[in-house]
Structure 1
Amino acid sequence: MSDPTSMSSAVNVYKRLVPQPVRSAAATTVPAGVRRKVKRRLARTLSRREARLHRRALRRVRKAGLGHSERRTHAPDGRVGHVHTGLTADLARRLDHDLVTQALDAAEIPWFAVPALDDRRVCLAVDHKDKGAVRRVLRALLEEHTGYVVSVSPAGNDTGTLPGSHVKAWKHYGKAKVIRLTWLRTDPTENLWVGEEQGIEIEFWTTNTDLPTERLIGPRPNRVQRAVPSDAPGIEIGLDRLSGYCDIDGDLEPTVTLEDFDVLRLEEITFPVDAVLLWQHRTPWGEALLRAALRSLHQYAPWVDVVHVIAEAEPPAWLRADDRLTVVRARPGSEWYLHQLPDLADHFLLLRPGALLGRPSRPFDYFTPNGATRPRRGPWNAQESFAPWTRTAYTATGRVTAHGYAHGPQPHRAETLTRLAATGVTPLPLDDAQLSPIVPGTQPLDGVVHHFGHTTGLADPSGEAFVALHAALPGIGNQLERLLVRRDSRQIQLFGLGTDEARARGGTKAVLDFLHRYFPVPSVFEGDHHTDEADNRP
């Protein structure tokens, strides 16, 4: 029998060619054996036609040279993955986008990008009339470059483990209004896997002629509008305008959308955001923390404009200063004077030693479109209420604090620091968290600055889960392994790598091993592009 999910299956063709009254009469007058024989011949004819069209689509895909990777491998769940050196989440997203759009272009199928509600994924729209052709070319693409397909609307996830080249993987396609294509990609170490939460979604838009102006109607809501004129002109637009997780580099290849979709997203950040990293420990574990912080920005925050390394010790030789990274020598306690840093953007992320991004992030996760920061709240207890930073915050604002602030990357504004300095507040001493025997409370600078920003309308604190671990914690290896397997924490903070207890218990070594596995891809900020064996020493 022919593929029942095909847009021209034997059942559908039989229903289209034979009217309902004739089918009813045939059911009572024509012998069952004759009816089965006719249907079987029709199915064989359609099966041969479908196979011929599939071969034609496969030739087009191969001629276009689509779907390249260094080699294939298998993910921990047994599915096929593709290995790419220098892989990042943003690179995987662009590889998927280019793969699908080039396949549609090869089949001469018109398409345009849509600003989907979930901007982790790129969404493309095609005409519902092209649904059969889309299926053939995408199945050929997934045969050439193994990936997976599921139905999004209506939901049908039971095909997610079947390679998209299999006919059974398309069993929900006939009724699908939106489908998702995913490719699993990894780096050569196979420690980093990307693709499960990304992929390309394809919506099938229909034409509506009820009004004088013909319109295209989407199958689901998006961030702009569901209906657009069918004659709306197409324009080129950067992927960063469709997804907050994308690189803002204007030199990258754009995509195509309709002019009606070229509007600001509600959560779109239009101002530049820098990152400030503190370098304090000229030790192997100190360098490992700096590498990991740079790699976390490279992997999970490609929208960061310039990275500023504030070096309170001699900077490592492998740091590659260029137009995207600057190195500034400073004295201890320089955090209180970051607003005096030359060429620093007004909005920036501050990463102290041990602060890491663990998942893809957006500028909107840390800033509001009107420019306010969104600092992460932390626990509040008696120790926090009597901490020196609480008294200082009250002195500067006249208002009592009500919560602490989380460890890990925190957003700041140079304007907030400038206003705070104008109040005459005396900077508090800042302890070295990597030498602390316990997980400390709210970092004094964060507590004072964020509370001051909140009371002056420059900050809007929000809550989000974060992970803070001390290297001397008993059983820290299990905690780190859980982080590595799940990769579900956006904010990570590691403490105590320089303590004697952590070195004696093997916690420092366990953290270094974790960092090398969690961030295996070198960043563009590393001049040597490799990790020294010395980094493995505690």
Structure 2
Amino acid sequence: MPVITLYRQLQERLPSWETTPRSALIREDASPLQAQRETLDIVCTLLSAAKVPYFCVRPMPGHPPVVAVSQRDRKRALTALASSGRPLLAARLPYGKHARGLAPDEIGRLRPLKRAAAMLNDAWAIRVGMLFASPSRTLTLGPEHGCDLEFWAKQKNLLVAPRANPACAVVPAKGEIVEGGEELFNPLVSAGQGVRTYRTRREFTRRLVDDIDFPIDAVYTWVDGSDPAWRSRRDQALAEGSDGGPSGALSEMATTEARFTSRDELRYSLRSLLTYAPWINRVWIVTDGQTPPWLDTSHPRIRVVEHKEIFNDPSVLPVFNSHAIETQLHHIDGLAEHFLYLNDDFFLGRPLAPRMFFEGNGITHFFPSLAHVPFGEPEGEESPVHAAGINNRRMLEDIYGRTLTRKLKHVPYALRRTAMFELEERFSDEFEATACSKFRRTSDISVTSSLAHYYGYLNGRAVPGTVEYTYVDLSLRKTPAKLRRMLARRKHDAFCLNDTAPTTPEQDALLGRFLEAYYPMPTPFELA
């Protein structure tokens, strides 16, 4: 079957993934955070109205918010929730399930709480939730984004937890009730962002050794390759034949149109970030004097930064080399110490907590790929990425005597600003040479996507992590079917939508439909 025909068929079928149940509540702000907040607030309000004593518990990593009730009050609690008239669903939680991202089929059979309450009278913990959907009905949120109700056993003067939590296994039965910030109980809320407080016990308000309570920013690099003024600057630099930088060979892959094509990916990458990592503090978009026409630059959480603001030597500008720009990101004035760096073709696919990228002590996580950096000399490489990896390897071998062999996955890169300054000072010649290279050359280094992470690992400030990830080449024949599966299953933590060759209008249209279906909710950064 011709590729174009296959794309047209998928375009016709793509909107059919609207499996929103009739009972779903439509929300203009539908998101995992909205679903967790609304469910937790309803549960707490109903228990309070029924005068059922409760307190919120700090959840295990990857779990939704948790509310604790004494086993002696279990029947009263279930009756209060079941008789509320709310469309609450519930299911018994399987014993010992502490894994991240429990899906409905892992929780047990979900039933309306009104009908299921009598069957839960001996449960030690249940999942409570509702069904929400975006107005487009392409985003559905179920009880996996609800909250857990635990029933604690009374033993003498203590209440004993039925399962693990990060803080304690027992609390005094008549202990003091205090208020705790939302960030203690909802993994999608960061310190300082919470707008709610909840009843809890003092034991759950302590600052734990692995708490991530520092701000985490996000940095994007972005270019609109269709901008006539930008194209004129690029074409002039190419016509001059020399970029004034190092003598490394210039590859055709460094100047291909695919490198500079914008299909509005930034809009949807930002949607993915705020939908699935709403704990992000501020967002910085680094550009060559360009601003997306849909972006509200007056929003306090976002700022466009021009190259001239961050380059040590602005006289080397303009540059059209992402390796060069990435050597200067840590110069952003006001950037947080801890930040994520993303390309605009990076997307988050499901809710992620800050601990995916950082430890509580500030150590960063990186995600090695199975793809290798080839051995050989950089001058012999057609791929600028491979050449930069070879150069990174040489630098680390010279210091540590260790050999870098693996590339990293195309997911957000966790970085520390002070570590970047340290790298720049230690490898000043390599940083300077790459920064003044207008186009990618075989003499470049790749700091944010490789060097900083392996350097951090070798000096004890970075560790490998795990991520459920996939890479999509938009130009491949199998891509339409893959996109449809991704949209239906939503099982990836992150994915990259890239193009190794120019795409057709049909392929671009398909991408737009996929992104709008996956991320239908606009961010506050978008102009009306």
Output the TM-score relative to the length of structure 1.
0.75
Deviates more, 1:316-325 or 1:273-282: 316-325
Distance 1:124 1:295, change over 3 A: same
Amino acid aligned to 1:396: M
- Name the CA distance, whole Å, in 1 between partners of 2:176 and 2:80: 25
For the 8 Å contact 1:148–1:160, the answer to whether it is kept is no
Paired residues for 1:118-157 under 5 Å: 118-141=61-84, 144-152=85-93
The answer as to 2:337 corresponding to 1:352 is no
What's 1:5 paired with?
none
What's 2:306 paired with?
329
- Name the CA distance, whole Å, in 2 between partners of 1:385 and 1:267: 42
What's 1:68 paired with?
none
The answer as to 2:196 corresponding to 1:192 is no
For the 8 Å contact 1:299–1:360, the answer to whether it is kept is yes
What's 2:430 paired with?
426
Amino acid aligned to 2:58: P
Paired residues for 1:210-221 under 5 Å: 214-221=157-164
Give 1:120 shift. 2.7
- Name the CA distance, whole Å, in 2 between partners of 1:336 and 1:514: 33
Give 1:223 shift. 1.4
For the 8 Å contact 1:248–1:302, the answer to whether it is kept is no
The answer as to 2:182 corresponding to 1:259 is no
What's 1:96 paired with?
39
Query: Whose radius of gyration is greater, 1 or 2?
Result: 1
What's 1:471 paired with?
474
- Name the CA distance, whole Å, in 2 between partners of 1:292 and 1:181: 30
What's 2:311 paired with?
none
What's 1:164 paired with?
113
- Name the CA distance, whole Å, in 2 between partners of 1:445 and 1:302: 23
Unaligned runs of 5+ in 1: 1-73, 433-441, 529-538
Matched residue SS, 2:45: helix
Give 1:76 shift. 2.6
Give 1:318 shift. 2.4
The answer as to 2:369 corresponding to 1:393 is no
The answer as to 2:305 corresponding to 1:364 is no
What's 2:499 paired with?
496
Amino acid aligned to 2:216: V
Distance 1:342 1:94, change over 3 A: same
Unaligned runs of 5+ in 2: 1-16, 97-104, 228-260, 308-317, 378-385
CA displacement, residues 297-331 of structure 1 (integer Å, 9 cap, x when unaligned): 11011111110011125212321223211111115
**Larger relative contact order, structure 1 or 2 (CA cutoff 8 Å, min sep 6):** 2
For the 8 Å contact 1:476–1:507, the answer to whether it is kept is no
Distance 1:274 1:222, change over 3 A: same
**Among residues 351, 366, 377, which one is paired with 1:375 in the alignment?**
366
Deviates more, 1:519-528 or 1:118-127: 118-127
Amino acid aligned to 2:349: G
What's 2:58 paired with?
115
Distance 1:474 1:287, change over 3 A: closer
What's 2:286 paired with?
310
For the 8 Å contact 2:151–2:161, the answer to whether it is kept is yes
Matched residue SS, 1:460: strand
Give 1:107 shift. 0.8
- Name the CA distance, whole Å, in 2 between partners of 1:481 and 1:261: 42
For the 8 Å contact 1:181–1:199, the answer to whether it is kept is yes
Amino acid aligned to 1:456: N
For the 8 Å contact 1:319–1:527, the answer to whether it is kept is yes
What's 1:236 paired with?
179
Give 1:411 shift. 0.9
Matched residue SS, 1:521: coil
RMSD: 2.6
Distance 1:384 1:195, change over 3 A: farther
For the 8 Å contact 2:339–2:414, the answer to whether it is kept is yes
Paired residues for 1:68-79 under 5 Å: 76=19, 78=21
Alignment: residue pair count: 435
- Name the CA distance, whole Å, in 2 between partners of 1:476 and 1:456: 40
- Name the CA distance, whole Å, in 1 between partners of 2:121 and 2:418: 56
Give 1:279 shift. 1.4
Amino acid aligned to 2:522: P
Give 1:207 shift. 2.1
Give 1:221 shift. 2.2
- Name the CA distance, whole Å, in 1 between partners of 2:372 and 2:438: 20
What's 1:64 paired with?
none
**Among residues 407, 410, 422, which one is paired with 1:407 in the alignment?**
410
- Name the CA distance, whole Å, in 2 between partners of 1:379 and 1:507: 28
Give 1:467 shift. 1.2
The answer as to 2:292 corresponding to 1:288 is no
Output the TM-score relative to the length of structure 2.
0.77
Distance 1:250 1:275, change over 3 A: closer
What's 2:218 paired with?
275
Give 1:384 shift. 7.0
